[in-house]
């Protein structure tokens, strides 16, 4: 198998995006800015009251992988869809940008997973995920040759929710580290951190690269102030990129600490995918052998692009944007 830059493992999800106001969130008991897991019944009833939507392929790690490919990286994705229309859309949208999507679709069981996303006028997104076929991801779907071929295996914290997927996650981690490859983890969501805090603390120290936003890292270490979390991360020694929305990001690696500004000049329309694309930019830079400063800048640039429009995947020419802004 040819060398890969990044393989992502995550929930295969098609996003259904719709505009909504704060009153809608309140009426339907939705926690603004969070990702909530929902079952099929709830997915059906919530979709029933949502406004008209747009369907766009999503999934946290899949978005990151799409970003890595857009930045010129060789990338693959492992995740489970059904053999249905939304599954076909999901697979198409990865393959159309040159990503190797290697997991066969399930031929029975729940439909392809979807995430009902309400975008409020402040550009915040509130996500309601029906994992569907994604829960069928098992350790058997983790192809050793793909993991071994990739410089970095990228795992989303959301995988820790379904039991099978968690085992798949563990298997990927073991294969990659046995081969001397790097493993990256995103904590995904502060509620996800709450659900799995103890295990995530262990994982955070075990992986090579950690991505987290401010809410997630505060929750992980149960502290109130960003700097307190930063000191703990620093002690673990893990290379970490901690994002803080408009305050930019902090990249820490042993002795090195970089303070990276958020990228300016683009409008903020829909924050869906901001963290995913930050990770994409960072990992693209990392696998290109760039400095940590430049990895952080690439993360900021990719994140700024994705929040300038609806949907969680890049639309502009990210490679060109990085070239213009960073050289």
Chain residues that interact with a second copy, rule: CB under 8 A:
18-19, 47-48, 50-57, 66, 84-86, 89, 92-94, 96-97, 111-112, 311, 313, 315
- Phi and psi at residue 113, in whole multiples of 5°? -65, 150
Torsion angle defined by CA atoms of residues 217, 219, 220 and 224, in that order, rounded to the nearest 10 degrees: 70
Q: Least distance in Å: CB of 269 to a second copy?
A: 11
Token pair, residue 164, equals 């099978």
| β-bridge mates for residue 129, sequence order | 37, 115
Instruction: Confirm if 218 and 229 have CB atoms less than 8 A apart.
Output: yes
Torsion angle defined by CA atoms of residues 30, 36, 42 and 43, in that order, rounded to the nearest 10 degrees: 110
Neighbours of 117 (CB within 10 A): 26
Q: Least distance in Å: CB of 246 to a second copy?
A: 25
Given the complex with a second copy, which of 86 and 184 has the nearer CB atom? 86
- Phi and psi at residue 81, in whole multiples of 5°? -115, 170
Given the complex with a second copy, which of 110 and 248 has the nearer CB atom? 110
Given the complex with a second copy, which of 54 and 259 has the nearer CB atom? 54
Q: Least distance in Å: CB of 164 to a second copy?
A: 24
Given the complex with a second copy, which of 10 and 296 has the nearer CB atom? 10
Q: Residue 244 has what DSSP assignment?
A: -
Max CA separation in the chain (angstroms)? 52
Q: Least distance in Å: CB of 19 to a second copy?
A: 8
Q: Least distance in Å: CB of 149 to a second copy?
A: 23
Given the complex with a second copy, which of 89 and 232 has the nearer CB atom? 89
């Amino acid at each position: 198998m040819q060398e890969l830059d990044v393989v992502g493992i995550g929930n295969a999800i098609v996003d259904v995006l719709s505009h909504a106001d704060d009153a809608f969130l309140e009426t339907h008991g939705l926690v603004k800015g969070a990702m909530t897991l929902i079952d099929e019944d709830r997915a059906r009833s919530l979709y029933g009251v949502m406004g008209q939507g747009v369907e766009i392929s999503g999934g946290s790690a899949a978005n990151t992988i799409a970003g890595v490919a857009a930045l010129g990286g060789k990338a693959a994705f492992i995740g489970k869809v059904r053999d249905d229309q939304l599954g076909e859309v999901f697979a198409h949208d990865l393959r159309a940008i040159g990503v190797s999507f290697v997991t066969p679709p399930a031929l029975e069981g729940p439909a392809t997973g979807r995430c009902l996303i309400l975008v409020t006028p402040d550009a915040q997104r509130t996500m309601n995920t029906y994992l569907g076929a994604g829960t069928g991801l098992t350790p058997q779907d983790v192809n050793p040759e793909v993991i071994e071929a990739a410089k970095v295996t990228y795992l989303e914290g959301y995988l820790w929710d379904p039991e099978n997927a968690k085992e798949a996650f563990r298997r990927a981690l073991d294969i990659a580290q046995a081969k001397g490859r790097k493993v990256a983890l995103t904590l995904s969501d502060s509620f996800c951190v709450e659900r799995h805090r103890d295990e995530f603390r262990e994982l955070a120290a075990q992986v090579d690269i950690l991505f987290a936003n401010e809410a997630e890292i505060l929750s992980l270490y149960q502290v109130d102030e960003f700097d307190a979390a930063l000191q703990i991360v620093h002690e673990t020694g893990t290379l970490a990129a901690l994002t803080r929305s408009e305050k930019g990001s902090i990249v820490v690696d042993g002795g090195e600490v970089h303070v990276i500004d958020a990228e300016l000049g683009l409008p903020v329309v829909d924050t869906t995918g901001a963290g995913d694309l930050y990770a994409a930019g960072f990992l693209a830079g990392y696998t290109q052998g760039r400095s940590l400063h430049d990895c952080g800048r690439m993360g900021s640039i990719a994140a700024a692009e994705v929040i300038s429009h609806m949907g969680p995947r890049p639309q502009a020419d990210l490679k060109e944007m990085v070239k213009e802004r960073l050289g």
